[in-house]
Amino acid sequence: MRRPFIIDCDTGTDDALMLAAAVYHDDLDIRAVTSCNGNVGEPIVANNNINLLEYFGVKIPVARGAKRPLYDRPVNEGACHGASGLGDVVIPEAKNGLVSDVIASELIYQIAVEEKGELEILVTGPMTNLALAIVQHADLPGLIKKLWFMGGAIDGGNMNNSSEFNIWVDPIAAHIVLTSGIADMTMVGLDVTMKAVMTEEDIAELRTVGTPAADFAAAMLNFMITHAEERGEGAVMHDALALGAALDPDCMTYRSCVMDVEWQGAYTAGRTCLVNRERPEMGPNIRAAVTVDTPRFRRWLVDAISKSAGRQ
């Protein structure tokens, strides 16, 4: 069954691994990959997306997007992803990259209209592009069939004790998206992504596949594991797990909740909050992942990237 899809990301190490798993899936018709400031500045993100998609041997348009968040946060220069956003892994510059001449927020809307309510969107970075599209086009939420996003947490944070990076970078954008009325939103937050950790065993298996995507994935996982101490985490598959929610949903369990984002607190801006008592009229608006079957997820991710062998 064809699933029209847009991936909006801030490519970065784990975004890149998510892309390697997404592009070979038979059902996904990835209409565009849209780029957002996040792990590194947007120009580097867009360049990573263009280079990666050509390296993976797929022709998917890349759109440039938000250069900064709606919220007044600093542009994040490669914290745990390195200055290039791809750690120490180097891939060739694309020679024939497909670059859209339409900015991300507008392309999201154009494709949503074309797909007549069947479009699914995966966001694995700050939500700036989608929020801009929503504020420019009031009918967009009704045209999005499903939203999957990596962000937030029911409990905890990685930027402080209560905020996760993607939401922390642009809490206003996340508030706009979560309160926009999109009918089906799935949150894959730190509660589950911190348990989605790949191992040396997975690297060894990927190295037997013999494709650019699998070789890249092995090299990226190796960087994440060998630089775990300085990065603050190992091969944690935040973004690939959000893709897993869309493509192998039973690898996790979920709970429905009423959720909004704090964006006004000096110290709490970026916190995903359960607001069922404060805003009962809003929901439930979010299905949040609460547990993950890590061995099943690891198996799924290696298999998804190994599908590149069939595309040689």
Q: Enumerate binding residues for ligand RIB (CB under 6 A).
A: 10, 12, 14-15, 38-39, 124-125, 150, 158, 164-166, 238-239
When binding is defined by CB under 5 A, the residue of 61, 85, 125, 152 that contacts Ca ion is: 125
How many residues line the site for Ca ion (CB under 5 A)? 6
CB of 183 vs Ca ion, minimal distance in Å: 24
Q: Shortest Cβ contact with ligand RIB: which residue?
A: 165
Q: Which is nearer to ligand RIB, 194 or 282 (CB)?
A: 194
Residue among 60, 55, 52 nearest 28 (CA): 60
Q: Which is nearer to ligand RIB, 36 or 203 (CB)?
A: 36
Residue 293's binding partner, choosing from ligand RIB, Ca ion, none, with beta-carbon cut-off 5 to 8 A by kind? none
The verdict on whether omega for the bond into residue 249 sits within 30 degrees of 0, i.e. cis, is no
Q: Taking CB under 5 A as the rule, does residue 15 contact Ca ion? A: yes
Residue 25 is a catalytic residue: no
CB of 153 vs ligand RIB, minimal distance in Å: 9
CB under 5 A: which stretch of 9-17, 154-162, 187-195, 221-229 binds Ca ion?
A: 9-17
Q: Which is nearer to Ca ion, 15 or 202 (CB)?
A: 15
Query: 25, 81, 175, 238: which is the annotated catalytic residue?
Result: 238
Buried b (16+ CB within 10 A) or exposed e, 276-307: eeeeeebbebbbbbeebbbeebbebbbebbbb
Are 78 and 45 spatial neighbours (Cβ–Cβ below 8 Å)? no
Q: Which own/partner pairs from 178-182 qualify as long-range (CB within 8 Å, at least 24 positions apart)?
A: 178/259, 178/260, 178/261, 178/272, 178/285, 178/286, 179/260, 179/282, 179/285, 180/134, 180/140, 180/141, 181/141, 181/142, 182/141, 182/144, 182/147
Q: Taking CB under 5 A as the rule, does residue 124 contact Ca ion? A: yes
CB of 117 vs ligand RIB, minimal distance in Å: 27
Residue 165's binding partner, choosing from ligand RIB, Ca ion, none, with beta-carbon cut-off 5 to 8 A by kind? ligand RIB
CB of 270 vs ligand RIB, minimal distance in Å: 11
Are 309 and 211 spatial neighbours (Cβ–Cβ below 8 Å)? yes
DSSP state letter for 307: G
Residue 107's binding partner, choosing from Ca ion, ligand RIB, none, with beta-carbon cut-off 5 to 8 A by kind? none
Question: Pairing relation of β-strands 252-257 and 286-292?
Answer: antiparallel
Residue 285's binding partner, choosing from Ca ion, ligand RIB, none, with beta-carbon cut-off 5 to 8 A by kind? none
CA pair distance 75, 68, nearest whole angstrom: 6
DSSP state letter for 161: S
Task: Enumerate the H helices of 34-90 as residue ranges.
Answer: 42-55
Here's the x/- map for Ca ion, 227-256, by CB under 5 A: it reads as: ------------x-----------------
Q: For residue 262, what are the β-bridge partners?
A: 271
The residues binding Ca ion (CB under 5 A) are: 10, 12, 15, 124-125, 239
Q: Which of the residues are catalytic?
A: 238
